[in-house]
Amino acid sequence: MTLDKSLVTIAPKSFQAYEDAVVSSGCSVSTMNENVGALIWTDYSDPQGLAKMIHENPQLEFVQLPFAGVDAFVDILNLPVRFACAKGSYREPVAEHALTLALSLGRVIPERVRATSWGRKHADSLYDANILIVGGGGITEELIKLLTPFRVNITVVRNRDLPLEGASKVVLFDELDKELPSADWVILACSLTDKTRGLFNKARFELMQPTSYLVNIARGSVIVTEDLVEALNSEVIAGAGVDVTDPEPLPEGHPLWSAKNVIITPHTADTNVQVITAFSIRIRENLAAYRGQGDWVGLVDPELGY
Among 97, 158, 219, 282, the active-site one is 219
- Of 107, 197, 254, 267, which residue is the catalytic one? 267
CB 252 within 8 A of CB 260: no
Catalytic, out of 197, 248, 254, 291 = 248
Q: How many residues does the chain have?
A: 306
> Cα(92)–Cα(96) distance, rounded to whole angstroms?
6
Query: Does 219 qualify as catalytic in the annotation?
Result: yes
The three-class DSSP label of residue 241 is strand
Contact 91, 141 (CB under 8 A): yes
Q: Exposure pattern of 154-177 as b/e (b: 16+ CB <10 Å)?
A: bbbbbbeeeebebbeebbeeeebe
SS3 93: helix
* Active-site residue flag, 248: yes
How many CB atoms lie under 10 A from the CB of residue 181? 11
Going from the C-alpha of 195 to that of each of 174, 179, 292, 304, 306, the distances in angstroms are: 11, 17, 35, 10, 12
Helix or strand or coil: residue 250?
Answer: coil
* H or E element at residue 109: helix 109-114
Paired strand residues for 133: 156, 187
Instruction: Tell me how far apart the alpha carbons of residues 229 and 262 are, in angstroms, rounded to a whole number.
Output: 9
64 has which bridge partners?
A: 40, 84
206 is catalytic: no
Phi, psi of 101 (to 5 degrees): -65, -40
Residues forming the active site: 219, 248, 267
